[in-house]
Amino acid sequence: MRDRSAPLSLSDVETLAWDKMGGLIPAVVQDRGTSTVLMLGYMDRAALSATLESGLATFFSRSRQRLWQKGETSGNVLRVATIHADCDSDALLVLADSEGPTCHLGTPSCFDAAPGGPAWLGELARIVSDRANATPDESYTARLLAHGLPRIAQKVGEEGVEVALAAVTRDAAGTAEEIADLLYHLTVLMEARATGWEQVVAVLKFRHQDLRNIADT
């Protein structure tokens, strides 16, 4: 029996419920870093196998009645990290890194409702990573990274104090501003230490599960 918690591999292709939709399974593509839903496509056995083999998202085009690799003409490919099946084995979640806009209209996502909230921290991490390659004269982020970890750590400490002070002296909007400053500087710190929000969230999830296990005993 397939381990539902594990990503799909080539050996899992035939375990999916292909007959439910005439040999096609819907595949939701989600940005691995930001959790943004990028697009919805359909895969048949051949498309899924091609995706798993190449690492590039490949779908079955219902209009053209053939396989098509995302970005085959535009160059805006989706590099697939993992693919997961849902509980009924009749839908797929594709976690990918996008190279360029996903939508043919030139937007990052095929869905107009852009996500906000914590999911955008992944996008912030990408921006910080890009700015790391800029010259210090033209980017505060690059300048901060050039100063090294001691200065970055100092800024994180200063911003943490600002958040604490805002919590007792300012309103909700003012507190949000200070938290935003802290999250930005934390993101710069993570860039300097070659880690990211993904790893932080993984730790939080592990701790949450550990607490649940303790509560169940």
Query: What is the per-residue pLDDT across 55-70, written as a single tens digit (0 to 9) for each?
Result: 999 999 999 999 999 9
Query: Mean of the pLDDT values across residues 142-149?
Result: 95
- What is the per-residue pLDDT for 108? 85
Is the confidence at residue 175, as pLDDT, over 90? yes
pTM for the complete prediction?
Answer: 0.63
Give the lowest-confidence range in 10-24, 28-42, 79-93: 28-42
Least confident of 86-100, 129-143, 202-216: 202-216
Q: Could you tell me where in the chain the CATH 3.10.20.810 domains are found?
A: 10-98
- The second-level CATH assignment, the architecture, of 10-98 is Roll (3.10)
Which letter, b or e, does each residue of 90-101 get, where b requires 16 or more Cβ atoms within 10 Å of its Cβ? bbbbbbbebeeb
Which residue ranges does the chain devote to CATH 1.10.287.1080? Answer: 117-216
Indicate if the pLDDT at residue 118 is higher than 90.
no
CB 50 within 8 A of CB 135: no
Class in CATH terms, 117-216: mainly alpha
Q: What percent of the chain has pLDDT over 70?
A: 92
**Mean pLDDT to the nearest integer, 141-170:** 96
